[in-house]
């Protein structure tokens, strides 16, 4: 049987969970995820996890934060002046927004808290700082 190696194009079904058991993503009901192993298309731990898998094999892998979306970066926590928010915009903690940097590139943020003068925004990836658990089924290796 052929085993997945770097450079192979593969298709996998997956179920991603957090350590508390909650699901954050799944390919259930969709086409399998297709990517090239080792090409940097996936988080490092997922790439490593599919190495040596055979078609039909199912396995569960635990990916530490540093091999997933990284640790939370405290410099990505932004104190945004409340005076820069339109008066008719109703913000709530947990709300997702999109800002633009100096070059016009989008930055996704989450409203962490709302103070009198500032809104605390978090520009970290929502899964930063979290260990991820994936159940992976190898569907195809090309």
What's the pLDDT tens digit per position in 35-48?
Answer: 999 999 999 999 99
CATH class of 9-70+127-141: alpha beta
Residues of each domain in the chain carrying CATH 2.40.10.330: 74-122
CA distance 21 to 28: 16
Residue 50 CA, distance from chain mean position: 17
Query: Which burial class, exposed, middle or buried, applies to 46 when counting CB atoms under 10 A from its CB (0-12, 13-18, 19+)?
Result: buried
Residue with tokens 């934060």: 65
Residues of each domain in the chain carrying CATH 3.10.50.40: 9-70+127-141
Compute CA distances 61 → 31, 41, 56, 127, whole Å: 21, 18, 16, 16
pLDDT reported for residue 1? 85
What's the pLDDT tens digit per position in 68-93?
Answer: 999 999 999 999 999 999 989 999 99
Compute CA distances 103 → 65, 99, 100, 110, 129, whole Å: 29, 11, 8, 20, 27
CA distance 121 to 112: 5
Q: Which CATH architecture has domain 74-122?
A: Beta Barrel (2.40)
Question: Whole-prediction pTM value?
Answer: 0.84
């Amino acid at each position: 049987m052929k085993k997945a190696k770097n450079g192979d194009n593969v298709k996998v079904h997956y179920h991603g969970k957090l350590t508390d058991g909650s699901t954050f993503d799944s390919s259930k009901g969709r086409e399998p995820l297709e990517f090239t192993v080792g090409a940097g298309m996936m988080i490092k731990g997922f790439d490593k996890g599919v190495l040596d898998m055979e078609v039909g094999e199912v396995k569960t892998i635990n990916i530490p934060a540093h091999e997933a979306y990284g640790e939370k970066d405290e410099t990505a926590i932004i104190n945004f002046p409340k005076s820069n928010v339109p008066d008719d915009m109703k913000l709530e903690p947990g709300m997702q927004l999109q800002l633009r940097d100096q070059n016009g590139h989008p930055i996704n943020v989450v409203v962490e808290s709302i103070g009198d003068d500032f809104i605390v925004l978090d520009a970290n990836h929502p899964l930063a700082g979290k260990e991820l658990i994936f159940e992976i089924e190898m569907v195809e290796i090309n």
